[in-house]
Amino acid sequence: MARSTPAPCFRRVWHMAALLAALSSGSVAPGQQPIPPGSRRLLDASLSGVVRLAATSQPVASARVTLFTPGLGFFREARTAANGGYVFDFVPSGSYRLGVASLERAYQEVAATLIAGANVRDFSLVPETNTGSWAVIGDTLPEVLDGTDIGVLRPDGTILYCHDTVDPIVFDPVTGNKVLPNGSGSEQGCMNSTLLADGSVLIVGGQNPSAPGSFTNAIPWVKRFSLANTWAQQGDMLLTQGRWYPGLARLNDGRLLIMGGGTAPAAARTDTCELYTPDDQGWSFTDTMNSPLEFPPCALLYDGRVLRTWGSSPELFDPAIGQWTQNVPFQFQNRGFPNHSDHSLIHLTDGRAVAIGVRQGAQTIRPMVEFFDPSSNTWSTGTNPTLPRMQAEVVYLPDGHILVAAGDAEQHAGAEPNILGVVKRCDVFDPSNGQWRRVGDMTHFREYHAVTLLVPDGRVLTTGGTQIKFQYGPTSSDIEAWSPPYLFRGVRPVLSQLSNSAPRRGEALSMRVFPETQLTRLVLMGLQSTTHWVDGGIPRRLELVPSQSGTSVRFTLPTDVNVLPVGWYMLFGMVDDIPSRALILRVDP
C-alpha cells in the first residue's frame, strides 16, 4: 500500500477530570456508540477529524478513513459525514497507520501515535495523481511473441501464451515463473481461442505457418489445451477451406459463434459462419454475414444478440433465429475496412457497447470512442484523449474504468515518443462521464500484436507486439505488469471461503472478507482470451449488491441467461474503487 511521508500533526485535547467523569458516568459524546461496561479503559484514546478538499476547503462526505496496524491485527474503518467529519472511539493507545481514500482523489496515509484521550487529525485532499507503475515481471523466452500470439487467463490463475501451438508458455503472474509444455505436434497460428467449462483452452482455425506471410494456407483445425498442459485434436470446422483470423463470440449457453476469416488457397475472406457446441464437439453452419471479413470485434449484448462491428457496417446476430441483420452504422464509418479493424469493442456494465480506437488519417476530427445503445439502436460519439490512436490495447478494469494502452497514432504523435507512429502512452477512460486521465507509460513500444490481460490480483499484464510493423525492433520477450492506481489506495479486502465455486444462475452464495471492511459492491468479470483487438472470453463486468454482517458476506447471482452467460469469472470484492484479489468461479447452466 502507498505510504505518504508527511509526519502527522496531532493536537491533544483532553482533561483527566472530564475523561474520568465520562467513564464513571457511562456517558458518550453525540454520535458515538455506547461501549459495554467493563470494556472502557483509562488509557483508551479517541481520534477525530475533518476531511476537506485542499483547493476549496469544502468537506468531503463518504471518504473512507482507516486506522490500522501494519499487520492488520487491529483495523477500524469509518466514513466521513456530510460535514467531512469522522471519529474513532475507545482505541487502545499506541502506534497506527491512518489512511484516507476518496474517489478521484489522491490517497493519503500517515503514521498516527495515539495517546490516552482525544486526538485530532484533519486531512486536505488533492486530485488523484497516482499513475500506477509498470514493471517487468518475467519473460516468454525462448519465444518472442510478435505476430500470431494469444493470451488466455486460465482458472488456476496462470496464463497460456502461444503463437503457433508448438511452443506454448504457461506463466504464473504471482511468482513470475513459467513452464514450457510440449507442443501440439503441428503448427497453427493466426487462430482464435476461448476457455471451456473444463478449464481447457479451445484453439480454432488459423493457418499452418509454412509460409505465414502469404495467408494462403488457412486450416479448419481445432485443438484443445488442458489444465494439465496436454494437447488433444478436436474435429475440424465444416468449412474445409479453413479460417485464418476467424472471429469468435461466446453465446449465453456456452456455444461459440465462429465468423468469417481468410480461406485457402487464395486468402479470400469469407462471410460464412459456424456454431460450435462444446458438449458434443459438434459443428453446424449458420447464417452468413453481409460482408466477408476477419477478426471482427464483437460483444454479447444483454438481449442475447451478438454485436459485430468493423466490416462494411456493424451487424447483429440473433441466435434464437440464427440470423444476421444489418445494424445502424457508426457516426464515423469505415473504421479501417477493408484493412484491419482500428478498434476494440467492450460491453459495458450499463448494457451499452463501446468501440475504442480510430483510424484518423488526415481527418483529425474522427472520435476515438463511439457508444452503441441497444435500447435506442443508435451510435453516439464520445470523447478523445489528448492523443487519439487506433489498435490500442484495451482492458476493462474492476473499478469500471478502461485501460487504453499503447496503439498507433499514425505518425500524428507530434512530440510524443513514437516508433513508426506506435506509442508507449497509456490512458484510463471513464465511460460513465467520458473523462480521460493519462497514466504511466509502458516499458516498450507495443503494437496490436501484443496480448494484454487483467489478472486476479488486479494488475494488467502484457507481452509481445514489440517488433513494430514487422520492420523495427528490437524485439523483447519481456512480460510487464501494470499496477493500477487502485492498488495504492490503502487496505484492500481479502475474500475467502466462497460457498460454491461452481454455482448456477440465481444461486445464493456466501463468503468471508478480511479485515472487517464494508464492501460497497461485488464485481464479476469474465476471464479474457485475447488476440489482436479480439477477446474470445466472456464480455461481462457485472455489479452485484452484497449483504454483509461483520465479516460474513452473502450475495445472489443473476438469473437472466443473457446477463450471466455460462463460463469462468473473476469475483472482486470492492470498497469504492479498491478491489480485492479475485476469487475464480465457474457459472454452470
Q: Can you identify the CATH homologous superfamily of domain 490-587?
A: Immunoglobulins (2.60.40.10)
Q: 35's torsion region: left (phi>0), alpha (psi -120 to 50) or beta?
A: beta
pLDDT at 586: 97
> Which of 30, 29, 96, 42 lies closest to 69 in space, CA to CA?
96
In whole angstroms, give the CA distance from residue 270 to residue 234: 22
Residue ranges, comma separated, of all CATH 2.120.10.80 domains in the chain are 133-487
* CATH class entry, domain 11-125: mainly beta
Of 2.120.10.80, 3.30.450.30, 3.90.190.20, 2.60.40.10, which CATH number belongs to 133-487?
A: 2.120.10.80
Residue ranges, comma separated, of all CATH 2.60.40.10 domains in the chain are 490-587
Phi, psi dihedral angles at 18 (to 5 degrees): -65, -40
Amino acid letter, 322: G
Grid cell, residue 480, equals: 510487464
Give whole-number Cα distances, 153 to 221, 285, 436, in Å.
Answer: 22, 29, 27
pLDDT at 414: 65
Grid cell, residue 289, equals: 454475414
Helix (H), strand (E), coil (C) string for 176-244: CCEECCCCCCCCCECCEEEECCCCCEEEECCECCCCCCCCCCECCCEEEECCCCCEEEECCCCCCCCCE
Is residue 258 a contact partner of residue 273, using CB atoms and an 8 Å limit? yes
Grid cell, residue 137, equals: 515481471
Residue ranges, comma separated, of all CATH 2.60.40.1120 domains in the chain are 11-125
Q: Does residue 144 sit in helix, strand or coil?
A: coil
Is residue 203 a contact partner of residue 225, using CB atoms and an 8 Å limit? yes
In whole angstroms, give the CA distance from residue 3 to residue 110: 7
pLDDT at 14: 33
Is residue 164 a contact partner of residue 188, using CB atoms and an 8 Å limit? yes
Q: Taking the model in full, what pTM does it have?
A: 0.91
What is the four-CA torsion angle of 577, 48, 548, 576, rounded to 10 degrees?
-10
Strands 94-101, 282-286: parallel, antiparallel or unpaired by DSSP?
unpaired
How does pLDDT run along the chain (589 residues), one tens digit per residue? Answer: 443 333 333 333 333 333 333 333 333 333 344 444 445 556 799 999 999 999 999 999 999 999 999 999 999 999 999 999 999 999 999 999 999 999 999 999 999 999 999 999 999 999 999 999 999 999 999 999 988 899 999 999 999 999 999 999 999 999 999 999 999 999 999 999 999 999 999 999 999 875 666 678 999 999 999 999 999 999 999 999 999 999 999 999 999 999 999 999 988 999 999 999 999 999 999 999 999 999 999 999 999 999 999 877 899 999 999 999 999 999 988 787 888 899 999 999 999 999 999 988 766 678 999 999 999 999 999 999 999 999 999 999 999 999 999 999 886 656 678 888 899 999 999 999 999 999 999 999 999 999 999 999 999 999 999 999 888 877 899 999 999 999 999 999 999 999 999 999 999 999 999 999 999 999 999 999 999 999 999 999 999 999 999 999 999 999 999 999 999 999 999 999 999 999 999 999 8
Residue 563's Cβ-count burial label (10 Å; 0-12, 13-18, 19+) is middle
